[in-house]
Amino acid sequence: MSELLREIESIALFRGVRNKEPLSSLCDFLLKMEPDYSVEEMIDSYGNFCSKLYELRADCDLSAAIWDALVDDMNPFLRFRIDLINNPESATKMSRLMELTAQRELDLLTRIGNYTSYDFKNEMYYDGYLPDFRSSHIDFKKRYMMMLDSIETEGYGVYKRCNIFKVKDGKLCVVKHPDPIRAEDLFCYERQRGKVVDNTKAFCEGRPFADVLLYGDAGTGKSSAVKSSARMFFGKGVRLVELPKQEIEKLPDIIEELTEIPLKFIIFIDDISFDADDDRIGSLKSVIEGAASGGRKNIVIYATSNRRHMIKETFSSRANEVHASDTIAEQLSLSERFGLRVLFDKPDKATYLEIVRNLLKLRKIKMSEEDMALKAEQFATRSGGRSARTARQFVDSL
């Protein structure tokens, strides 16, 4: 056990893993097994180590807990690999010494992860109650190298574990409970969604793509089209970043951060609208304009709005403007910067009932055609009109 502690303390490349749980508590326990410490201190430290492991993994798996810490670790070895992907011609060549160190330390982590509670109990010489844990015997070197080889599609760290993020106070945060909407759950508007999917596929495959504005009536499925389209390509390295419209001024900083990550990011701005004198209009214009010069090869912007021009306009503001045509042109210029504009208009009665009919079938709810048509129309009247959202709310109410 003393030798094991010394080996763990010698970790250099993956020092971050050493300083995280569960290795941090494990090192404390191994230290307390030295003759200088009492049996009570050793038992207390062992209990603390097991407690930390239980917090990390419900399956009480030491090897899996170490792997989780390794996946989240931004270490020099990983940074060199990322730099090589981003800048293949100018990246600094990794030394053979670093490669050998990485292999040895990954082998060491494999040996550490192979320990079970029985191995430690045999060394403790204590017959009382001690908690147990297990190991799934992960080959860290093999798995980590496979992760590096698939980094552009599988990601690393939090980008490997999660697919959807949100900007909060200028920082990327994981969306813990994302909208589960899938393409199979959406009906009608196939032509509109097809444009979004085709653009996302081109973006994913490195072909020419466009920033997209989805505009039209509320509740027609604009946001669902974006989220379901992103979900289709998660396995190809696409990640969705939800940007609240209040955080638009942080957009340049977010783009700068995401540019260095070898994945594809859809920055999604939902329900966007501005007052005519909003300073954020200029910020968004400049960012979208930057795409044309090749400044965002791994980032695309999708926005939804109930207004095509995204800028609130009153008759008084137009009447008070000397050069009204110039003002209108300025407002139009924002939406025109989106290379693809997709209209989601309010469904007619036949389309509305078709959505309801398909949702009933999906939920396995049986209803006569006459009864369905009557009740769905009554529900739409009470809800303010027909829309895809109203159709879903109607079926939910059943």
Q: What are the tens digits of pLDDT across the range 231-270?
A: 999 999 999 999 998 898 899 899 999 999 999 999 999 9
Structure tokens at 4: 């094991």
Q: Which H or E run includes 240?
A: strand 238-242
Q: What are the tens digits of pLDDT across the range 361-388?
A: 999 999 999 999 999 999 999 998 999 9
Q: What's the pLDDT at 90?
A: 75
Please indicate, yes or no, whether residues 27 and 75 belong to a single structural domain of this protein.
yes
Average pLDDT of the chain to the nearest whole number: 89
pLDDT at 225 over 70: yes
- The type of residue at 255 is I
Instruction: Classify residue 20: in a domain, yes or no.
Output: yes
Please indicate, yes or no, whether residues 338 and 354 belong to a single structural domain of this protein.
no
Q: What are the tens digits of pLDDT across the range 187-215?
A: 999 999 999 999 999 999 999 999 999 99
Give the domain-ending residue among 322, 344, 366. 344
Please indicate, yes or no, whether residues 199 and 338 belong to a single structural domain of this protein.
yes
Please indicate, yes or no, whether residues 357 and 256 belong to a single structural domain of this protein.
no
Say what percent of the chain tops pLDDT 70.
89
Domain count, the chain: 3
What range does the domain containing 28 cover?
2-149
* Confidence band of 290 (pLDDT split at 50, 70, 90): low
Contact 199, 301 (CB under 8 A): no
CA-wise closest residue to 129 among 209, 46, 10: 46
Please indicate, yes or no, whether residues 225 and 196 belong to a single structural domain of this protein.
yes
What is the rounded average pLDDT of the residues 20-32?
A: 97
Q: What are the tens digits of pLDDT across the range 344-354?
A: 999 999 999 99
Structure tokens at 328: 């209108």
Please indicate, yes or no, whether residues 192 and 317 belong to a single structural domain of this protein.
yes
Which of the 8 DSSP states describes residue 93? P
* Confidence band of 108 (pLDDT split at 50, 70, 90): very high
Angstrom distance (rounded) from CA 250 to CA 268: 13
* Residue of higher predicted confidence among 285 and 365: 365
Burial 241-275 (b: 16+ CB within 10 A, else e): bbbebebbebbeebbeebeebbbbbbbbbbebebe
Please indicate, yes or no, whether residues 357 and 295 belong to a single structural domain of this protein.
no
Please indicate, yes or no, whether residues 203 and 338 belong to a single structural domain of this protein.
yes
CA-wise closest residue to 108 among 140, 78, 131: 140
CATH of the domain at 215: 3.40.50.300
Instruction: Classify residue 158: in a domain, yes or no.
Output: no
> For the sheet containing 212-216, what is the strand order?
171-174, 164-168, 238-242, 264-269, 299-305, 212-216, 340-344
End-to-end Cα distance, the chain: 63
Give the domain-ending residue among 309, 326, 344. 344
What is the rounded average pLDDT of the residues 107-111?
A: 97
Least confident interval from 177-181, 192-196, 239-243, 291-295 = 291-295
Angstrom distance (rounded) from CA 61 to CA 53: 8
Angstrom distance (rounded) from CA 240 to CA 261: 13
* Confidence band of 315 (pLDDT split at 50, 70, 90): very low
Instruction: Classify residue 154: in a domain, yes or no.
Output: no
Contacts 24+ apart (CB under 8 A), 70-74: 70/14, 70/17, 70/109, 70/140, 70/144, 71/147, 71/156, 71/157, 71/160, 71/161, 72/20, 72/157, 72/158, 72/161, 73/14, 73/16, 73/17, 73/20, 73/157, 74/16, 74/157
Q: What are the tens digits of pLDDT across the range 118-171?
A: 999 999 888 899 999 999 999 999 999 999 999 999 999 999 999 999 999 999
Q: What's the pLDDT at 340?
A: 94
Q: What's the pLDDT at 332?
A: 60
What is the rounded average pLDDT of the residues 289-306?
A: 77
Please indicate, yes or no, whether residues 336 and 360 belong to a single structural domain of this protein.
no
Instruction: Classify residue 131: in a domain, yes or no.
Output: yes
Angstrom distance (rounded) from CA 229 to CA 215: 16
Query: What is the value of pTM for the model shown?
Result: 0.85
pLDDT at 293 over 50: no
Give the domain-ending residue among 82, 114, 149. 149
CA-wise closest residue to 241 among 175, 337, 286: 175
Instruction: Classify residue 89: in a domain, yes or no.
Output: yes
pLDDT at 174 over 80: yes
Q: What's the pLDDT at 292?
A: 46
pLDDT at 327 over 70: no
Angstrom distance (rounded) from CA 394 to CA 379: 7
Please indicate, yes or no, whether residues 337 and 200 belong to a single structural domain of this protein.
yes
Please indicate, yes or no, whether residues 327 and 180 belong to a single structural domain of this protein.
yes
Angstrom distance (rounded) from CA 317 to CA 296: 35
pLDDT at 328 over 70: no
Contact 102, 147 (CB under 8 A): no
Least confident interval from 90-99, 127-136, 293-302, 304-313 = 304-313
List, in sequence order, every beta strand (DSSP E) within 280-388: 299-305, 340-344
Instruction: Classify residue 156: in a domain, yes or no.
Output: no
Say what percent of the chain tops pLDDT 90.
73
What is the rounded average pLDDT of the residues 173-181?
A: 90
Instruction: Classify residue 28: in a domain, yes or no.
Output: yes
Angstrom distance (rounded) from CA 378 to CA 372: 10
Please indicate, yes or no, whether residues 127 and 171 belong to a single structural domain of this protein.
no
Instruction: Classify residue 340: in a domain, yes or no.
Output: yes
pLDDT at 323 over 60: no
